Amino acid sequence: MKMTGAQAVVNSLQKEGVEVIFGYPGGGVLPLYDALYDSPLRHVLTRHEQGAAHAADGYARATGKVGVVIATSGPGATNLITGIATANMDSVPMVCITGQVGLSIIGKDSFQEADITGITTPITKHNYLVKNPKDLPRILREAFHIAQTGRPGPVVIDIPKDVFTATIDYDYPEEIVLRGYKPLYEGKKKEIDEVAKALQKAKKPLLFVGGGVISSEATDLVRTIVDQYKIPLISSFMGLGAIEAKDPCNLGMVGMHGTVAANMAVMDCDLLVGLGVRFDDRVTGLLAKFAPKAQIVHFDIDPAEVNKNVSTQYRVIGHLRWSLQSLLESLEHKIDTKVQADWTLWLQQVQKWHQENPLTFKNSEKVIKPQYVLQELDRQTKSNAIVVTDVGQHQMWTAQYYGFHRPRTLISSGGLGTMGFGLPAAIGVQMACPQENVLLVTGDGSLLMNCQEIATIVEHQLPIKVAIVNNHALGMVRQWQRMFFQQRYSHSTFHNGGTDYVRLAEAFGAKGLRATTPEEVPQVIAKALEIEGPVFIDFQVCSEENVLPMVPAGASLDQMIEGVVD
């Protein structure tokens, strides 16, 4: 069938089952947008390309499907960069289609030309510059395959304008042949058996659940292991929601702002079993003293992750659905009553730590404490919303005080820590999950970074509830300055009194509410939840509050700060 390159792109997106695209048109992609005009694909026009990238990211995180974003050449494409890097760090499947100047003028500093494949090489799983129009169907097919197989990640397809307008014989390939790309789904049984033997010998095993458990849809298998053997578990930030927060075996988040019990368990366990984790620096603290008594096991689909940050004694490479099912089969009939008795004593010990060291804060009747806002949001939504966050103190308070009980209910930028992620990501999440309650928790600093997307939310009347933890400062920066820079608050406070977020929301056509006292908090949350459309709630919180406990950068996990004295 003959069609233009632009029509070939649209047809290929339909072949891949794409339903929603996020993007922003421009000269380099006008032929593609012209083809979209006649297609059934739903296109969401954001107000900035970065917003489109984060929206596609949020859509992918909430569904597990590939998020698709389109931008034009030059500045349109470079505006995607932060969104692409964010997705890459958190292993999110995305296909990013960018326009490029015509083939004959590439490399001549032409108007709105940027070397997007060169720029994105370090932050993508793969990228393409399409030089021959007939390659378009094959490249689209490969891009979706690469983005969602193995360790997921973003793929960029850069398409010159004259490739869009060229006529080709369209034939979408059924099979893919990619030399050198063969993700390992089923690993070595020998590696599984070695882990099973190590577990048999362990008296204090500890499961460490990461975002890979959620992205590989393996939470049910972790649940089976926990239910069957009562092994305590800790979670990375990205792993929250994999196992119910209230499960008796779940000690909560580990690391810099993790629970005391989770960090103490790492320091005392004798076998730490990492499942789909990166062992990043926010988790490990001082590497030389990380899990000092333990042998370490690492399950991951990406062999490059193993021994990257911590040295492991055992490794299992493969898809977690294969690995964990194989581990369950290998453990069957091997865990005798003596081993189980040791594990029961260990579980009782860590549960005692957890009960004696709960997350806590000193509430107030005069000023709004941010932790109280999160507790009240959790109570009134019954821990049943999909919660999107930006980055900063509010992000960590959300992790600590909102009860996540289902996978894919915490959507946040973990690895890159991207301020401005939340608002556009919430658009993608609500588009993907129209029947769910979507709650965005953001800070006054983060919200302003992509506040233009309020217009997108209002245009589509997305019923997102936005809780602004407004402390009139860049809260986490201010906290570090208070604790480690002698309270020298260099450019971290909004001295002009901040922005009026109620009027900002109303200027875009959304509903704005405000709470300035603790007693107003439950009232405005209840009112916001009753309103059908988008609502922005400005919580005027105490600016002096710190996220605690905290392991200072470069310290070991047992060097937690649990209180601050000025």
**Between vectors from CA 351 to CA 346 and to CA 354, what angle results, nearest 5°?**
135
**C-alpha to C-alpha distance for 44 and 420, rounded to whole angstroms:** 18
Name, in order, each residue with C-beta under 8 angstroms of 258's C-beta and a sequence gap of 6 or more: 234, 252, 283, 549, 551, 557
SS3 content of the chain, % helix, strand, coil (to 5): 40, 15, 40
Q: What do you get for the CA distance between the two ends of the chain, in Å?
A: 73
Token pair for residue 401? Answer: 């005080």
**C-alpha to C-alpha distance for 410 and 374, rounded to whole angstroms:** 14
Strand partners, 23: 45, 70
Given a contact cutoff of 8 angstroms between Cβ atoms, the answer to whether 254 and 232 are in contact is: no
Given a contact cutoff of 8 angstroms between Cβ atoms, the answer to whether 232 and 203 are in contact is: no
Name, in order, each residue with C-beta under 8 angstroms of 332's C-beta and a sequence gap of 6 or more: none
- Catalytic positions are 49, 111-112, 161, 476
Q: Which of 391, 69, 343, 109 is CA-nearest to residue 233?
A: 343
Exposure string over 268-296, b if 16+ CB within 10 A, otherwise e: bbbbbbbbbbbbbebbbbbeeebbeebbb
Q: Which of 330, 329, 315 is CA-nearest to residue 277?
A: 315
> Could you say which residues of the chain have pLDDT below 70?
496-497, 564-566
The whole-number pLDDT of residue 184 equals: 86
Q: What is the pLDDT of residues 533-548, one digit of tens each?
A: 999 999 999 999 999 9
pTM of the model: 0.97
Q: How far is CA 46 from the centre of its chain?
A: 20
Q: Which of 257, 179, 250, 247 is CA-nearest to residue 209?
A: 250
Given a contact cutoff of 8 angstroms between Cβ atoms, the answer to whether 373 and 539 are in contact is: yes
Output the CA torsion sign for 501, 506, 509, 513: positive
Structural domains of the chain sorted by starting position, each given as residue range(s) with its CATH number in brackets: 2-169 (3.40.50.970), 189-356 (3.40.50.1220), 370-540 (3.40.50.970)
Name, in order, each residue with C-beta under 8 angstroms of 461's C-beta and a sequence gap of 6 or more: 533, 534
Which one-letter DSSP state was computed for residue 266?
H
